[in-house]
Structure 1
């Protein structure tokens, strides 16, 4: 078993950031290094990961990635290293004390998607920061995306009769997770909270009333009755809210699709629509 004792035990985030910055400030081809995410916006806590944006003349080359790895290794033993596996400019790392660091490596001309409001300079040899917009306007609602979210919710709900008919209760509860994710996304869109952060930042993105709704909903249990009850509970919570938001955004509601879905569920499982439509 690997000894998890660290060369630099319990390095805090501030020390990690300084160590990485100091290791790269004079590195050839590295033009700037910024903090992004919660550490840039002042929302970081002891559980936050550390997000960086590095500006390199050569972009996310193997040589630049090697420089980054050498810098991270100075903060502790690297136990997880994902080198441009999901996004060609992103490297994820975890060290032995479970400090998580992410870096996006960009060429100077690729920095246009970033703004000063989302970055905190650590060093900036070429004045990249000064050339960025102060902040970007919030993205407007996307009616097309929201229409898809509604239709996907109804589609997952309609698959309930397949799961019940095949007695696939173990896999059938996966539908509950999909429905829950859709409801959470809708709630976040309703609050319009900025700086969404990672997946474990829900507490600051939704209201107490919304939290109470989520807590009240039944858990996914792999039995026929529990699976059906959970699907109906999420439908009762999501669909009225989604209808209201669709009306506010001018999105046409998929009336026929919802109608035939409830008809199919009634025919196969004796289920009626659990909310007042229209």
Structure 2
């Protein structure tokens, strides 16, 4: 069994100059493909259950799915709650067997974010698992605007909460469908100059692959969350499978044809984070 906590994979990544991919899962087909890709590449992987995933699959079921994949995997697999918004939701994920909780208090005033994140970090650590928090606000492509992370607030947040990973807002946005942007490396350096906690980039699909590689090697960014990039790969593969024969109706056969393309896409993502 290679079930791991977030700290289990981020501490070596930080020490050795690489990053670990937090891959956003929506169902069995993609999470299975992500583990297969990680095994081929010989690297750890973080399976993430975000709000859209939890909207149609209950947390206790997701916990069992993640742990089942981890038990058979040859590489470390983290079962991670992504964007938990309440203490109760984080508690449910812990009880469901998740090994990492990401509490998102980024829309709240600084002190409230610190207090609530610290409480969840304490709960997680007492249970022997990890906690990620967010300081600053990572916005959404064509939606809510970002609020960049203040380096001094980041240092305060890291110290006061005891999080194992800290998500920051440095030019990254969620749901970006291309890689035309890039991250503010000056702000990253300023944050890193004030705190040594492993850093996390949400909205990693919008970050050019070469910048991911450079930052993984040269900074404390140890985790890139990737969702949109792999959703696109799954959607293209599913469309091809359906359109190849208008008489097809067997979902098992159709969905099976998404596996190889998603594995290939996930391998490309994982390769951008290696040291």
> TM-score per shorter chain, which class?
under 0.3
Question: Of the two, which has the highest radius of gyration?
Answer: 1
TM-score (norm 1): 0.21
TM-score (norm 2): 0.21
With CA pairs under 8 Å and 6+ residues apart, which has the higher RCO, 1 or 2?
2
